[in-house]
Structure 1
Amino acid sequence: MTNLYSSHQTYRPDIDGLRALAVLPVVLFHFGFPGFFGGFIGVDVFFVISGYLITGILARELRQGNFSIVRFYRRRAIRIFPALFVMLAATTVLALFSMLPEELKSFGHSLLATSTFLSNILFYNESGYFSADAHTKVLLHTWSLAVEEQFYLFWPLVLALLHARAKSSVGWIAGIITVASLLFSIWWLSVDPSGAFYLIPSRAWELMIGALLAVAPALPARHRLLREFLAAAGVLAILIGVKFYNERVPFPGVAALLPCLGAAAIIAAGTAGTTLAGRVLSWRPVVFIGQISFSLYLWHWPVVVFTQIGLMREITWPIRIAQVLLSLLLAVLSWRYVEQPVRVGTNGYSDKKVFGGAFAAMAATLILGVTFTVSGGLPARYNEQQLAVAKFESYHGDQLYRGGTCFIVDGQGRFDPQLCLGQNQQQLKSLLVIGDSHAAQLWPGLHQVATDYNVLQATKTGCRPSLSGKAIEQQSSCEQFFRSILTSWLPAHPVQLLILAGRWAPEDLPDLTATIALAKRYAQTVMVVGPIPQYASSLPRVLVRNEGHPDRIASSVVNGPFILDPQMRGLVTAAGAHYFSLIDNLCHGRACRTLAAAGVPMQFDYGHLTEQGSVVVASMLLNPAQSVAKSAVVGMR
């Protein structure tokens, strides 16, 4: 391989345009704009760009004999620290005034991790189906910065060592590292999806693709058609990922190749010469978005989180548009008055002054993080009654619902038929509940209330029990799981009561009739539990923030379940099954029961039941006479 250090580092407006193509899908995805469900791939595009640009700079300096690891980290500090720590300061002030104790304590943890570029490890350790709502993790987006900085702890040193000892092998060794990391990412995704998403071993290959571009020979300039094809294909690959990827696509792994190779194709084509796609990406408004992309990425997620925390109601289109405009405004201000002045103003500063300022910012952030953590989130800001409710923010739902055995959480754990479907022969009747987490939440209550039943459970996160008519090879893992229960286990173990429950969506309705018909073959009674009342924010936060204002609590109730409930009632009844309406039993209009007992919320997040809440619902389900008309509790009283 020749021309190993063709770093191509003249300014390229098309790469700023590519940054815009990366950041805008991320922002619009996080703000809930339809058509951008795969917007998360923008982060992968950023990784490729970063690997290309920084490796190009390092390669040029090594070639010229003026490489300095100190100068490298000085540039990183000037590039990253100012905007990052201004954002951290602003979010800290807002967190003090808006977060519950457990949330502020968690924010303290993330301050510690973010200021030391370990937040990806923190959020990996906190990952789980019932971990704190992502919309309370103000610094969740900094995981990608941590991945980058961890990569740049070792890659400059590896590159310098290879340059000194094996210059002719740089490209091949970089290729081996890339392939090894990609293969590890594919394997790890099947074993630990959260680890594959957050941690550097399974993400390094994305930065290495950019690094390979920087040390590889450029395309011959005369191949115009090849350049045009590569650039157009690269843009199309990224747009396809943005449009058609979603949370159900296993990621990163093989799926991340699409945006990464797309970004690489655009960069490679632009290195060889101009292209039509490159000219579009070089359009001044697009370039400007790319120039402010770092600040836009930093600020947009705090806007998402604090809007959710502050409003505690469904996000409407005017609110979404306002969020985008506010994020753009903050990004422009950050770029104009923080990023740009620091880059220019520190040219004459000594290394000691630059690193001293960086360490001072880190130290101040660490002190705040320790304060929030050690104090338990400054609980003195709230009264005893509020604290009793607020503590449910850190409720362990997966443990309560038998996560890892009878409730398979995000593909982790192994379903245990002997434990979950084993029948006590002393009980003559059996009750089986199947579905997703909204079915698993019924188990604690049924286990306590249905004492004359064998209470059996087959539940899996994100899997609503609605079976399609697709061929076996086209069925999802969810459908295969439930179909095996209904067609293999149930015929040999008929039950008296089969309960289907889930976080129902309108698209489930067409297949629900056939699912009920299949279930009725081997169950004496089939009951479908309708959608539970849900909230735009976690119920404990809604109760604490709106203490004494039941009208405000009602305004936090999400509209969707109220629309879906009567539709499901009609369909289920027509199919010959029993329908249990949680809306009817827990709500009067939009005023829904919020407490299972004094100081104990019905739900610990947007909609999952606490243990006491599950007992309340199970009692109603098995004894319809216990209606909300006699036991409604609205607000904190």
Structure 2
Amino acid sequence: MKTSHQAYRPDIDGLRAVAILPVVLFHIGFPGFFGGFVGVDVFFVISGYLITGIIVRELRQGTFSIADFYRRRVLRIFPALFVMLLVVSVLAALVMLPAELLRYGKSVAATTLFSSNILFYSESGYFAPDSHTKALLHTWSLAVEEQFYLFWPLILMALSTSRQTAIRWGAVIITVVSLGWSVWLLKHDATATFYLIPTRAWELMAGALVAIFPGLPANRRWLREVLAALGLLMILVAIKFYNDSVPFPGAAALLPCVGAAAIILAGSGGNSLVGRLLSWQPAVFIGKISFSLYLWHWPVIVFTQIGLLREQTWTVKVIELLASFVLGTLSWRYVERPFRHVSAAVPNRQVLGRAGVAIALGLVVGLLYVVPQGWPQRFNEQQLAAARYETYDGDHEYRGGTCFVVGDNQKFDAAQCLQTRSGSPNLLFIGDSHAAHLWPGLQAEAGAAGINVLQATHTGCRPAIADLAQPKGACQKFVSQIVTEWLPAHPVDVVVLAGRWTRADLPGLPKVIAAARQHAKRVVVVGPIQQYVSALPRFLVRASSNQQQAAAQGLASGPFALDPQLREVAVGAGAQYFSLIGALCAQRSCKVTVDNGVPLQFDYGHLTVEGSRYVVGLMMPVLDGRKPVDTVASVPAANGPRP
């Protein structure tokens, strides 16, 4: 059977550079790369092409050995991976909180067994631990690849004994079934679609198809040029225009995957302008170090946040990028390359045996962190009390799954959450999780004042829409339906708009305020709450004496700059404005604990139940109408007594 995989192709290393750079820049947070996650999909296509080409050619020649195949995989993956695991495991023991180190131990074991994608899927959820505390989160893609290569060589071996077309038909069937499953499951369980092999296999198969099928008439120069140019354009469009609002992978993954396959196919027939561009030496070098760069870039980001507790300023981003490249280059030069050129005289038995030892050691390291429950002995009782909030269940406390929709697959229970009551004031609050975290306080404080509280909250859905008549996406449709359909039929006394506001919300906020004012006596906009570069409990644990001062060093600057701008827009549109920053912070020193040392917030910004009651207590004079327009409560000191 013909295969296009025959010789080294520098353009494929260049394509690796096109894959890895957007991933790294996206994770670090450089603007313009919000779709950089598609680089992983490009990697899948490249891997499927190269590995399938090798296997098919060796099967045709009668030289394929499953032991040789896994020997190559071990020498390619294990050395760089396990060196990274060793270094990261030491750092984890130094800086992670007990619950984090416990989870890390599980992830080490799962990564060692190439099943971390399954583990991270099981840990998913809106208030699941912050991804920036999971130093091995990026290994999910390695797990997908290695799971694929457990069964794909065996399938090829079985099909190669049949007719010549059996491999082609088998590959097509697997691709179609996996893609169809991905499209279907995305509507029912998007997280499973993202992490698990059945819905990702088709991306590796896209590359496999290019290796298996005879090349198109790519000897024609114009066809190669068109294929390569369109392929690169498809990848770049996905990188530029995709973001976290695009349902992914599913059908959306076709754009980068087909693009990568087109570039590979074009290069199989000869050179092209894109091929020469990808063969540029700097691009080829980045492609060569791409595996090590991928392994190291995420731990660099994670430990910058949870170890150094640094805000993602431009300076920090550039340093993270440079550090990732330095570590990736060193790993490639001194770990990857030497092991990839291990002499053929070293028997497979020895190579695979040492791989087994490495796996056993990885499991031992994982158990060393899991069995003692994350080594809590590293901290005193006061620190442990604060650290326990790192596992806080915000979903449950905010009525997740009913009045707080966590993910697009959940249904909002309007009958329970929007039940008005005659004879008492009705207050409706709308927004994302930064609105939902007001629920415990509103239930207690407003409920005690005789106010009926109605909740319409959805993750990521800030109540600011530029065009209410034509909302885009599930979030805007959710907010628009509440404001333009439900509210006119059920007028209320007070509408509260809250969210994790951004500058992008400023143009759309007046539209929602205007619509709400038509069917409510008053509209109150709640400003941004103070946010931290890492979870607040982490700063409380690290504090040697003054917790407030320690936390002040980790305050994110964005909310402080946005607060006066949001006030101006809200008041200009006729709403009342309550500044959480004005109420909770004196200059850059903010309240951090309530009620016997309970943290005000359990992560970067969401309120604990006690924190919610405290905050809503400050808001009540505005919510019940005792305070005039644009007045905020104040505290004499950030941690002073409640007024």
2:579 paired residue number = 581
Q: Does 1:629 align with 2:635?
A: yes
Q: 2:561 aligns with which of 559, 563, 566?
A: 563
1:401-453, Cα deviation, whole Å (9 max, x unpaired): 1111111112132111111112355x612111111101100011111111211
Q: Does 1:186 align with 2:183?
A: yes
The 3-state SS of whatever aligns with 1:458 is strand
The one-letter code matched in structure 2 to 1:457 is Q
2:477 paired residue number = 480
2:513 paired residue number = 516
Whole-angstrom distance in 1 between the partners of 2:511 and 2:328: 51
1:273-310, Cα deviation, whole Å (9 max, x unpaired): 01111111111121111111100000110001011112
Whole-angstrom distance in 1 between the partners of 2:106 and 2:581: 38
Whole-angstrom distance in 2 between the partners of 1:515 and 1:39: 32
1:45 paired residue number = 42
Q: Does 1:436 align with 2:432?
A: yes
The 3-state SS of whatever aligns with 2:161 is helix
Whole-angstrom distance in 2 between the partners of 1:628 and 1:166: 80
1:89-108, Cα deviation, whole Å (9 max, x unpaired): 00000011111111111101
The 3-state SS of whatever aligns with 2:401 is coil
Deviation for aligned residue 1:166: 3.6
Aligned residues: 629
Deviation for aligned residue 1:165: 2.4
1:552-611, Cα deviation, whole Å (9 max, x unpaired): 421211111111111121222222221111001000001011112223111111111111
The one-letter code matched in structure 2 to 1:343 is R
Deviation for aligned residue 1:521: 1.5
Aligned residue runs from structure 1 range 593-632, under 5 A:
593-623=591-621, 627-630=633-636, 632=638
Whole-angstrom distance in 2 between the partners of 1:219 and 1:253: 26
Contact 2:542 2:550 in 1 (8 A): no
Q: 1:32 aligns with which of 29, 32, 39?
A: 29
The 3-state SS of whatever aligns with 1:36 is coil
Q: 2:457 aligns with which of 441, 445, 459?
A: 459
Deviation for aligned residue 1:244: 1.2
Whole-angstrom distance in 2 between the partners of 1:546 and 1:167: 68
Whole-angstrom distance in 1 between the partners of 2:85 and 2:239: 29
The 3-state SS of whatever aligns with 2:245 is coil
1:324-381, Cα deviation, whole Å (9 max, x unpaired): 1111111111111111111223532222211121111111111111121121110010
Aligned residue runs from structure 1 range 256-267, under 5 A:
256-267=253-264
Contact 1:20 1:290 in 2 (8 A): yes
The 3-state SS of whatever aligns with 2:455 is strand
Whole-angstrom distance in 1 between the partners of 2:473 and 2:99: 37
Contact 1:346 1:354 in 2 (8 A): no
Q: Does 1:448 align with 2:444?
A: yes
Q: 2:272 aligns with which of 266, 271, 275?
A: 275
Whole-angstrom distance in 2 between the partners of 1:8 and 1:475: 44
Deviation for aligned residue 1:81: 0.5
Whole-angstrom distance in 2 between the partners of 1:455 and 1:166: 69
1:160-179, Cα deviation, whole Å (9 max, x unpaired): 11111243222122112111
Q: Does 1:152 align with 2:149?
A: yes
Contact 1:186 1:254 in 2 (8 A): yes
Q: 2:201 aligns with which of 201, 204, 210?
A: 204
The 3-state SS of whatever aligns with 1:524 is strand
Contact 1:505 1:564 in 2 (8 A): yes
Contact 1:5 1:56 in 2 (8 A): no
* TM, length-normalised to structure 1: 0.96
Contact 2:225 2:273 in 1 (8 A): yes
* TM, length-normalised to structure 2: 0.95
The 3-state SS of whatever aligns with 1:268 is helix
The one-letter code matched in structure 1 to 2:396 is Q
Report the more deviating stretch, 435-444 or 548-557: 548-557
The 3-state SS of whatever aligns with 1:191 is coil
Whole-angstrom distance in 2 between the partners of 1:22 and 1:481: 35
Distance 1:526 1:288, change over 3 A: same
Whole-angstrom distance in 2 between the partners of 1:565 and 1:224: 58
Whole-angstrom distance in 1 between the partners of 2:229 and 2:490: 57
Whole-angstrom distance in 2 between the partners of 1:614 and 1:470: 30
Aligned residue runs from structure 1 range 422-433, under 5 A:
422-424=419-421, 428-433=424-429
The one-letter code matched in structure 1 to 2:459 is T
The one-letter code matched in structure 1 to 2:429 is V
Identity %, equivalent residues? 58
1:115-171, Cα deviation, whole Å (9 max, x unpaired): 001110111111111111111110000000000011111111111111112432221
Unaligned runs of 5+ in 1: none
Whole-angstrom distance in 2 between the partners of 1:480 and 1:323: 38
Contact 1:22 1:41 in 2 (8 A): yes
The 3-state SS of whatever aligns with 1:457 is strand
Whole-angstrom distance in 2 between the partners of 1:237 and 1:18: 13
2:416 paired residue number = 419
Contact 1:313 1:557 in 2 (8 A): no
1:478-536, Cα deviation, whole Å (9 max, x unpaired): 22212221222222322222111011111211122221111111112211101110111
Distance 1:185 1:439, change over 3 A: same
Aligned residue runs from structure 1 range 75-474, under 5 A:
75-424=72-421, 428-451=424-447, 452-469=450-467, 471-472=469-470
Whole-angstrom distance in 1 between the partners of 2:257 and 2:506: 37
Whole-angstrom distance in 2 between the partners of 1:144 and 1:138: 14
The one-letter code matched in structure 2 to 1:515 is V
Contact 1:533 1:561 in 2 (8 A): yes
Deviation for aligned residue 1:399: 1.3
Deviation for aligned residue 1:251: 0.7
Whole-angstrom distance in 2 between the partners of 1:564 and 1:506: 7
The one-letter code matched in structure 1 to 2:639 is V
Whole-angstrom distance in 2 between the partners of 1:514 and 1:350: 71
The one-letter code matched in structure 2 to 1:606 is Y
1:36-63, Cα deviation, whole Å (9 max, x unpaired): 1111111000000000000001001110
Whole-angstrom distance in 1 between the partners of 2:108 and 2:590: 36
Q: 1:544 aligns with which of 533, 541, 545?
A: 541
Contact 2:218 2:266 in 1 (8 A): no
Whole-angstrom distance in 2 between the partners of 1:611 and 1:471: 36
Deviation for aligned residue 1:211: 0.5
2:13 paired residue number = 16
Distance 1:335 1:313, change over 3 A: closer
Whole-angstrom distance in 2 between the partners of 1:254 and 1:179: 12
Q: Name the Cα RMSD after superposition.
A: 1.6
The 3-state SS of whatever aligns with 1:345 is coil
Whole-angstrom distance in 1 between the partners of 2:345 and 2:595: 64
Unaligned runs of 5+ in 2: none
